[in-house]
Amino acid sequence: MSLTSGEEHPSVLARWGSAAFELTANLFYAFGFFWNVLLETFHFRSRSKVGTQVLVMQILFTGVNALFIITLIAVSLGTVIIFYGNQIPTAVSTNLVYTILITVITRELGPLLTAFIVMARSGVAIATELSSMVVTHEIEAYLAIGINPISYLVVPRFLGVTLSMIALNLYFNLSGLAASYLVAQFIHPIPASEYFSQLMAQLTPNAVSLSVVKSLIFGIVISLVSSLNGFRAQQSTTEIPVIVIRAVGQGFGLLIVVNILLTLAFAG
């Protein structure tokens, strides 16, 4: 509803109430969307034969194609940690450097940086693709011939992004920890058996499970936020950049919040 010149502006309280109402409605809509995606995911193998190929392509694009940049970042991070860790004598003598490596790479920055990369690459692509399909009435065409767009379009992307996130996070960890070993050979040579033995001694089941759980939830968040925003397009192609920007903003924000919550949840 647009305001005419004669109408009064709504009060601050009314605007806040309206915003809260809209936020609540959006949240319910998002949970409903998530529930639908989960339901369709369980029936993915039986209902969507073509979806498997979409899933493969999604993993190829999100996981395999992002492997290089993920490895590069992991190597850089591992190098920095081992370099500065070796500058601190106490960290070397007390194996604190291994604890730092595990904490930074495995527990915290590994999953988060991987998620940022995936959000920036695949999240943007999914939001753009789906919103374009809405604008060009492709979604309506799917519905017209009896294909569930969530089953055919969202579930492969949901699974593809989530699986890719988990796999990329593992590659990130492997690259970061292996790179730190290679860099350590130039600074403070140490036998591989000793290095990895110490690393494995510091690596706890809690750290591994936290890393895997983070990557799993980050994958879910990225795919859902991107898909949901993609479907919010209406009629115009000019909406697509706005939707993509909104998806990226929401995605990054949610990733950071979820990261904090998961870290706190696993801290005990």
Q: Which residues of the chain form contacts with other proteins (CB under 8 A)?
A: 56-57, 59-60, 63-65, 67, 90, 93-96, 163, 166-167, 170-171, 173-174, 196-197, 200-201, 203-205, 208, 212
Q: Do residues 73 and 175 lie in contact, with contact meaning Cβ atoms separated by under 8 Å? A: no
Task: Between 26 and 52, name the residue whose CB sits nearer to other proteins.
Answer: 52
Task: Between 96 and 242, name the residue whose CB sits nearer to other proteins.
Answer: 96
19-28 b/e with 16+ CB inside 10 Å = b? eeeeeeeeee
Q: Which of 168, 139, 141, 136 is nearest to 154 (CA)?
A: 139
Task: Between 26 and 65, name the residue whose CB sits nearer to other proteins.
Answer: 65
Task: Between 67 and 120, name the residue whose CB sits nearer to other proteins.
Answer: 67
Q: Quote the CA–CA distance of 244 and 235 in Å, as a whole number.
A: 15
Q: Quote the CA–CA distance of 94 and 91 in Å, as a whole number.
A: 5
Q: Do residues 229 and 250 lie in contact, with contact meaning Cβ atoms separated by under 8 Å? A: yes
**What's the closest the beta carbon of residue 191 comes to other proteins, in angstroms?**
15
**What's the closest the beta carbon of residue 204 comes to other proteins, in angstroms?**
8
**What's the closest the beta carbon of residue 91 comes to other proteins, in angstroms?**
9
DSSP 203: -
Terminal CA-CA length for the chain: 50
DSSP 191: -
**What's the closest the beta carbon of residue 168 comes to other proteins, in angstroms?**
8
**What's the closest the beta carbon of residue 182 comes to other proteins, in angstroms?**
17
Task: Between 57 and 260, name the residue whose CB sits nearer to other proteins.
Answer: 57
